[in-house]
Amino acid sequence: MNSNAFWHFLTLQLIKERSKHLSVIFISMMILFLLSSVLFISSSIRFSLEETLKVQPDFVVSRIQGGTAVPTPVKWSDELLDIYGVSQVTPRVYGRYFFEPKRKSFLLVGVDFMEEQSHQKLQTLIDKTDIKAFFEGKQMLVGQGVKDYLETHFYKDAYNFLTPEGKFEKVTIFNTLPSQTNLISNEMIVLPIDLARKILGYTEDEVSDIIFNVPNTDEWDMMTDKLSALHYDIHVVNKKEVEKSYANLYNYKGGVFLILFLILLFTFALILYQRYSMVYSTERRHIGLLRALGWSINAVLRFKFTETIVVVSVSYILGVLFAYLYVFVLGAPLLSQIFLGGDNLTNDVHFVPVLDFSVLSSIFLIYALPFIASVLIPVWKVSVTDPKEAML
Amino acid sequence: MIKPFVSFLLLLILMVFMMSAHYLLFPYKKTTQTMLNISSLTHMSSLALSVSYDESSVNMTYPEMPALGKMDFLYEL
């Protein structure tokens, strides 16, 4: 049979028996869609975190008392500056503010806008507004999730924070943080550092923690030892540990889905094997008919192999395409909550498209090989038997 | 190849082309830069995890004991 005739017969056969193939394509597509979506979300979050970690400080030190974090004395930053190799020491003031009626919480972050660097970054972040207006009175920048939540609770322009002393602090909403940053800033409220101190109940001499850089990475282990010797109640975390914890978390979540995928795939392969090897199945009769018409075993196998490859490729392409659309265009509703949670504020997150081609090709191989094997082995078994027997 | 199959194949190619166009034309630089700006302004890069107040760090029944539902092996820094 020449190539044109072969493809004509194959495509005719595929279209004629489309209802049979469509059910297989639909199930395979759903399995691949779910797995690809999970891997897309996982790789996109990891990419975004790796990017933002580049500008993060190398070390974070805080004070612990009895295993619980307590306010860190600001004078520790002077001690850190005295250590050789340490640079860019910055105290941070942040904490969660609970919206009592619903037990929802916001992340309050204090920024020292008197620093020129912070000033410039704020200007680039919110480039359309007059930045000078921000420093007139008590103002704040809120994340998209906070903005939506406050609006539904009738706080459209300002919010009254209750300080630990029982006083109210009215802060005006100046602007919303860009929605592209929802992955980080959805629950965030950025305000001047002194105002954040007042709302969170820190005194002038206290901060949440202190960050600093050590440009020479070879010194990091030694620096951890040196800092631990400085104070008994110091807690030191370096950037490598943060990277490792994120990788562990998302490998774990992706891994759970990979195991589920393997179980599903195995079950699906068994069903296919069963279908093709059934004694009175139409498949069996069809193969017998081809053999009776004079097709060689090789030609039957080639035909079934090509047919399976077409089914596998179509379901794979559709599965990955729909997963891409679902995650990177629609923002993975429902599934994103497995990774980011859904108990606090609603996060309308935009994932950065990241395609890991090694993962995609591995999925194809893991999926295609058992699929092809579960079809070709019974087909070969039938085609080597006598055509009369096969057609019974 | 018969006509319906060719049409289906062309539709599939068009879909792959659209996905590739979206992937290649996505403003990576702008999005990444905005993320970097917010991250360097606030010195925070932790994810906005939408989780409710975590009571698992405190054992409510026996406060002197460590919490039982905490997955330290996963989340510990």
Note the pLDDT tens digit of each residue in A381-391: 888 887 777 66
Cβ-count burial of A140 within 10 angstroms (0-12 exposed, 13-18 middle, 19+ buried)?
buried
Mean pLDDT of the residues in chain B: 77
Q: Do B75 and A249 touch (CB under 8 A)?
A: yes
The span from the CA of A210 to the CA of A212, in Å, is 7
CB pair distance less than 8 Å for A56 and B38? no
> Would you call B71 an interface residue with chain A, using a CB distance cutoff of 8 Å?
no
Residue A296 identity (one-letter amino acid): S
Query: What's the pLDDT at B16?
Result: 94
A-chain residues within 8 Å CB-CB of B17?
none
Greatest mean pLDDT among A32-46, A95-109, A321-335, B49-63 lies in A321-335
Q: Is A178 exposed, middle or buried (0-12, 13-18, 19+ CB in 10 A)?
A: buried
Query: Residue A122 and residue A387: Cα distance in Å, rounded?
Result: 78
Q: Which residues of A touch B71 (CB under 8 A)?
A: none
Confidence (pTM)? 0.82
Q: What CA–CA distance (Å, rounded) separates A261 from A269? A: 12
Report yes or no: B22 at the A interface, CB cutoff 8 Å. yes
Residue of chain B whose alpha carbon sits nearest to that of A187: B48
What is the least distance, in Å, from the CA of B60 to any CA of chain A?
A: 15
Domain that holds residue B66: 3-75
Give B70's pLDDT tier (boundaries 50, 70, 90): low
Domain count for chain B:
1
End-to-end CA distance of chain B: give it in Å, rounded.
Answer: 58
> Which of A266, A178, A249 has its CA nearest to residue B36?
A178
Query: What pLDDT digit, counting tens, does each position of A144-186 carry?
Result: 889 998 898 888 889 898 888 888 888 999 888 888 888 888 8
Tell me what ipTM this predicted complex has: 0.78
Residues of B in contact with A13 (CB under 8 A): none
Buried residues in A153-166 as b, exposed as e (16+ CB within 10 A): eebeeebebeeeee
Residue A280 in this model has a pLDDT that exceeds 80: no
pLDDT score recorded for residue A390: 66
Closest CA in chain A for residue B64: A66
Is pLDDT larger for residue B69 or for residue A299?
A: A299
